[in-house]
Structure 1
Amino acid sequence: MNVALGGTFDPVHDGHRALFERAFELGDVTVGLTSDELAPKTRHVDRYVRSFAERKRDLERELEPLAAEYGREFAVHELTEPTGIATEPRFDALVVSPETEDTGERINELREESGVDPLDIVVVDHVIAEDGDVISSTRIVNGEIDEHGNVTPERDGRDATR
């Protein structure tokens, strides 16, 4: 099975790791990583996002051991639009988080309009932080929590522009 998922992944955290693990359970994985131009447009909060090259390097470091553990292949491709690679016919499934499930449905509409079979949409629940709220990159960047969801009141966040 060929599995797609996408995101900005800045920084990678345990919620992302849950997505990656589920994707590798299903098959070979292609990750669409938002381009430098697209990344700020996908944010709900204005904040600095590291470069595509930096994010890709860190993402590949995360994916390599999982791919080896599951005996799967993976690739990282640049996303220049929100529906990205998942509209391509070669994919069978799309792994999403609850907040991106609607994008998955939109991707299936686009696939059907072009005569391509819909994807199986696999929703992976949020991972909850120590304080009971969702782990998110924004919360990590703001200094509220670390990548594992531990509360970090002593940390300073990353500025909106760096």
Structure 2
Amino acid sequence: MEYKISYPYKYVGLGGSFDHLHEGHHELLKTAFKMGEKVGIALTTNELHFGKEIEELIEPYNIRKEHLEDFIINKLGKKKEEFVIMPLKDPFGVAITDENLQAHVSSLETYKMALKINDLRVERGLAPLVLIVIPLVQNEVGKKISSSDIRKKIAKK
């Protein structure tokens, strides 16, 4: 007998650089896949990295995409038809245009962007998204885990 898992939402979205995939990213992704039957992941392209700390050490798009797919398939046990990874070339992407999107997962750090997404959706006549916010994941010394800090460590080597 096969059991079908019931999800609160049909389509959930999230976005970011997912650079040097770390535990904070893992938690975002785990949450999204618990909430959505399908998950849309907007992965930043180089246009959005300008001015980031040590931007030259941001992994290339194809590497970040590969790491995301590997984590989702091999660690979360999801199938390719359960998610889509799309290029994010501007701060909002399809989050402000896709009428099928129902919820958005963000961290406390990116919550303000989720609020802005909802403002723009409403301006365009779309329903606002349910906003799912997770706490920041901390390292062993109580500081938030960040891709910027990982790049700083790499730069020191």
Q: Please say whether Structure 1 and Structure 2 have the same fold, judged by a TM-score greater than 0.5.
A: yes
Q: Does 1:105 pair with 2:102?
A: no
DSSP-derived class of the 2:18 partner: coil
Q: Give the aligned partner of residue 67 of structure 2.
A: 58
| Runs of 4+ more than 3 Å apart | 69-72
Q: Give the aligned partner of residue 123 of structure 1.
A: 133
Identical pairs, percent? 34
The CA distance in 1 between the partners of 2:78 and 2:66, in whole Å, is 19
Greater share of strand: 2
Q: Does 1:86 pair with 2:83?
A: no
The CA distance in 1 between the partners of 2:26 and 2:73, in whole Å, is 12
Q: Unaligned 5+ residue runs, structure 1?
A: 144-156
Aligned equivalent of 2:155, options 148, 152, 158 = 158
Q: Structure 2 length as normaliser, TM-score?
A: 0.84
Q: Report if aligned partners of 2:22, 2:145 keep a CA contact under 8 Å in 1.
A: yes
Q: Does 1:10 pair with 2:7?
A: no
What amino acid does structure 2 have at the position aligned with 1:101? Y
Q: Unaligned 5+ residue runs, structure 2?
A: 1-9
DSSP-derived class of the 2:46 partner: coil
What amino acid does structure 1 have at the position aligned with 2:64? R
What amino acid does structure 2 have at the position aligned with 1:135? I
Aligned equivalent of 2:150, options 133, 140, 143 = 140
CA RMSD between the two structures = 1.9
The CA distance in 1 between the partners of 2:42 and 2:72, in whole Å, is 13
Q: How many residues align?
A: 144
DSSP-derived class of the 2:50 partner: helix
DSSP-derived class of the 1:37 partner: helix
Cα displacement (A) at 1:69 = 5.4
Task: Sort the Cα spacing of 1:71 and 1:83 in 2 relative to 1 into closer, same or farther, 3 A.
Answer: closer
The CA distance in 2 between the partners of 1:125 and 1:7, in whole Å, is 16
Q: Structure 1 length as normaliser, TM-score?
A: 0.82
Alignment of 1:10-29 (within 5 A): 10-27=19-36, 28-29=38-39
